[in-house]
Amino acid sequence: MSDNVLLHLGEEPRFDQIKTEDIKPALQTTIAEAREQIAAIKAQTHTDWANTVEKLTDITERVGRIWSVVSHLNSVVDTPELRAVYNELMPEITIFFTEIGQDIELYNRFKIIKNSAEFNTLSQAQQTKLNHDLRDFVLSGAELPPEQQAELAQLQTEGAQLGAKFAQNVQDATDAFGIYFDDAAPLAGIPEDSIAMFAAAAQSEGKTGYKIGLQIPHYLAVIQYADNRELREQIYRAYVTRASELADEGKFDNTANVEQTLANALKTAKLLGFKNYAELSLATKMADTPEQVLNFLHDLARRAKPFAEKDFAEIKAFARESLNIEDPQSWDLSYAAEKLRQVKYAFSETEVKKYFPISKVLAGLFAQIKKLYGIELAEKTVPVWHKDVRYFELKQDGQTIGGVYMDLYAREGKRGGAWMDGYKGRRRFADGTLQLPTAYLVCNFTPPVGDKEARLSHDEIITLFH
C-alpha cells in the first residue's frame, strides 16, 4: 500500500502512476481510517471549531480528494476496468458521506458551536461555513427518525447510481455510433479540417476513408455544413435519440433511469418536508420559491420569443427560396442559418476559425485574465491523464496562487459537454499554512489533426471564455 499514489496525493496528482487496481484499496482504507477519526471527534468532552469543524473537514477532504480524482478520470478517460471499480465503489462513498450528514452527534456538536460564545469570534467565512454545514445536516436527514434516515440514505445511494448509469449510457451510445465512407464525395460542403478529423477517426480504428461519430465536433460539422441532406438527417436523428428506446435497439435506453430518478427526487423532497424537488433544490440557492424561478423564465421567454420567431421565419424562407428546401426540418436549420450568414453578412464560421488557432485564443484569454485580475498563467510540466492535457500555474505578483488543468478536445471515452471541477479548494489551515486551489477545465472542442494546430470556432471560443 505504501506505493499506492492515491494515498499520497500531493499538489499535483501523479496521474501517470495511478493504477485501476489501486483505487479500491486506497478508498476503502481511507474510509475506514476516517470512520475511526470521526468516532474520536465524537468521544471528546469539549466541543469547539478546531476539534470538530476543522478536524471533520480534514477527514472528509482526504476521502473526497481521492474520490474526486477517480470520478474525474472516469469522466475523461473511461475504460471498462475503471468504470467497473467506479460503479462498485459508488455506493460505498455515497453511504460514507450520508452517514456523516445524518450523524446526530456531529450535528449536535455543530449546534453547540453555533450557540457558543466562540461563534462570535469566528471569521465571517467560518460563520458562513458553519451555517451552511448546519443547513446541510438538515437536508441530509439528521433530524429525521432512524427509519426515515435509512429510506433517505437508500434514495441517495440509488440516485448516485442512476446518475452514473445515465451518463455512461449517453457516453456509450455516443461512442458506439459510426458512419463510414470510402471517399469524401458524400461529405461535400464540410470544411477541410473536419474532413481531416473524420479521416483521423477512421485511421484510429485501423480503417481507411472517413468515420463520422456523434462527438460534438463531428455532429456540428455535419449539421452545419454538409450539403448532403440525407446525411444531415441521419446524424441529427442519431444525435437526438442517443440513449433512448429509439436507438441501438434500446441497448442504452435511459428511460427507466430518468423515470426512477424523478420518482426518487420527489420521495426525497417529501421525506425532508418539501412539497416537491424544486423546493428542495432551491434550499441551497439564491431564488426563494419555484414560482419566482418560473416567473423569471416566463418573463425571459416573453421578451425573447418575438426575436426568435423572426429569425426562425427568416431562416425557413431562405431555405425555401435559396436552397430549394420546401419543408425545412430540424436538420436543415443550422445548415440554412450558416448559408444565410454567408449571403447576408459575408460571414463564415469556417473562415473565422482560420484566425483563431488555440495558441492565439489562449494567449488572448490569459491577457484578459491578467488585465482584469492581475493574474498570469504559466505552463508547467506535470503528470497528466492524456497527452493533450496542459497544466498552468496561476501567479499574482510573482506568487503562485493556484493551478488549472486544461483538457480541451473531444475524444472517445470522454464525457461530452464542458465543465469545471476541483481537485482541491483554497483553505487556510489552523497552523496558518495555505492550501492553494487546483481546478479541472474540461471542454470538447475540435481536436488537432496530425501536426496542425487546433483552431476554434466562435462558439468554442465563447465556451472557453465563459
> Using one digit for the tens of pLDDT, what is the confidence trace for 354-374?
899 999 999 999 999 999 999
**HSE, side-chain direction, 13 A CA sphere, residue 186:** 16
Pairing of strands 438-445, 419-424: antiparallel
Identify the band that residue 395 occupies on the pLDDT scale cut at 50, 70 and 90.
very high
How much is the pLDDT for 345? Answer: 87
Helices 55-76, 80-101: inter-axial angle, 10-degree rounding: 150
Neighbouring CB atoms inside 10 A of 111's CB total 15
CB within 8 A of 403, min separation 6: which ones?
A: 11, 12, 380, 391, 392, 393, 394, 436, 437, 438, 439
CB of 197 within 8 A of CB of 217? yes
Strand, helix or coil at 398? coil
Identify the band that residue 452 occupies on the pLDDT scale cut at 50, 70 and 90.
confident
The Cα 201–Cα 223 span in angstroms is 18
Q: What is the DSSP letter of 357?
A: B
| pLDDT, average across residues 84-107 | 97
Residue 345 backbone phi and psi in degrees, to 5: -120, 0
How much is the pLDDT for 421? Answer: 94
Give the angle subtended at the CA of 352 by the CAs of 347 and 354, to the nearest 5°. Answer: 145
Give the angle subtended at the CA of 213 by the CAs of 211 and 217, to the nearest 5°. Answer: 110
Neighbouring CB atoms inside 10 A of 452's CB total 10
Q: What is the DSSP letter of 455?
A: B
Pairing of strands 427-428, 419-424: unpaired
Concatenated DSSP letters for 118-169? GGGGS-HHHHHHHHHHHHHHHHHTTTS-HHHHHHHHHHHHHHHHHHHHHHHH
| pLDDT, average across residues 109-135 | 97
CATH class name, domain 5-101+103-143: mainly alpha
Asked whether the predicted pLDDT for residue 134 surpasses 90, the reply is yes
**Consecutive H or E run containing 39:** helix 20-43
Asked whether the predicted pLDDT for residue 462 surpasses 70, the reply is yes
Asked whether the predicted pLDDT for residue 86 surpasses 70, the reply is yes
Residue type, 391: Y
CB of 155 within 8 A of CB of 268? yes
CB within 8 A of 26, min separation 6: which ones?
A: 1, 4, 6, 7, 66
What residues does each domain of the chain span?
5-101+103-143, 178-241, 286-350, 358-465
How much is the pLDDT for 1? Answer: 62
The Cα 165–Cα 159 span in angstroms is 10
Question: What ranges make up the beta strands (E) of 272-361?
Answer: none
What is the percent of the chain with per-residue pLDDT over 70, rounded to a whole number?
A: 100
What is the percent of the chain with per-residue pLDDT over 90, rounded to a whole number?
A: 94
- End-to-end, the C-alpha distance of the chain in Å comes to 41
The closest alpha carbon to 11, from 426, 430, 379, belongs to 426
Pairing of strands 399-409, 438-445: parallel
The closest alpha carbon to 12, from 384, 390, 335, 262, belongs to 384
The closest alpha carbon to 86, from 77, 33, 262, 11, belongs to 77
Tell me the average pLDDT of the chain.
95
The Cα 384–Cα 192 span in angstroms is 30
Asked whether the predicted pLDDT for residue 2 surpasses 80, the reply is no
Cell of 128: 458562513
Cell of 452: 496542425
| pLDDT, average across residues 382-401 | 96
| pLDDT, average across residues 300-305 | 98
| pLDDT, average across residues 232-255 | 96
Asked whether the predicted pLDDT for residue 32 surpasses 90, the reply is yes
Q: What is the pLDDT of residues 206-223, one digit of tens each?
A: 999 999 999 999 999 999
CATH superfamily of 358-465: Collagenase (Catalytic Domain) (3.40.390.10)
CB of 404 within 8 A of CB of 439? yes
In Å, how far are 30, 142, 167, 296, 415 from 88, measured between CA atoms? 16, 26, 16, 41, 19
- Residues 176/181/182/188 CA torsion (nearest 10 deg): -150
Concatenated DSSP letters for 236-278? HHHHHTTTSTTSGGGTT--HHHHHHHHHHHHHHHHHTT-SSHH
How much is the pLDDT for 346? Answer: 84
Identify the band that residue 451 occupies on the pLDDT scale cut at 50, 70 and 90.
confident
Comparing 352 with 233, the larger pLDDT belongs to 233
Residue 335 backbone phi and psi in degrees, to 5: -65, -50
